[in-house]
Amino acid sequence: MARLLMPMSMLSLLSIGAIFGFFYAWVCSTMWGLDATDPRVAIKAMQAMNASVRNPVFFPAFFLTPVILGLTAFIAARQNCRRSAALFAASAVVYFTGALLVTALVNVPMNDALAQVIVPTDESLAAETWHGYSAPWQFWNTLRTLVSGLALLLTGLAIYSLHPEAS
């Protein structure tokens, strides 16, 4: 089990880093770009992106990250690396509650509702539809990003705490 701790720590860092980066990209580029375009285009593009994100490449980073973090916490605890174990576990809980659950309970229902929208041909009606979706969606996505960033920080601290001089 001792030989698993460092590879699992790196896998934990990679997985939480990947999902943080995914959410971050939506904050600082994707949604700003969609907000800057014709709202009819924005609605159609968001519908297409939401439909395409449910894929086997996205699955491990989104769904397996808390599992990987939890397993790493377990391995660290078995190695008597209590501080690291606690930090890995905290990272798993923070990500699960503040990002994965928020996604499932807020963002996915918003995405599903947008998927049912027939894109209005009238630009002002499309703008009303888009702005009613975009602003709240971005609020919740920013929360997911901040929470994932905190989980990434906790994971980094957990890895740092594995070194004897860090104690």
Tokens of 154: 């906790």
Which tokens in the block code for residue 34?
Answer: 């969609």
pLDDT of residue 165: 64
pLDDT the model gives residue 8: 98
Residue written as token pair 């800057």: 36
* Mean pLDDT computed over every residue of the chain: 96
The token pair that represents 107 in the structure block: 């963002």
Mean pLDDT of 56-66: 95
What pLDDT score does 164 carry?
A: 72
Tens of pLDDT, residue by residue over 34-53, are 999 999 999 999 999 999 99
Counting residues of the chain whose pLDDT is more than 70, the rounded percentage is 98
Q: In 3-state terms, the chain is what percent helix, strand and coil (to 5)?
A: 85, 0, 15
Q: Where are the domains of the chain?
A: 2-166
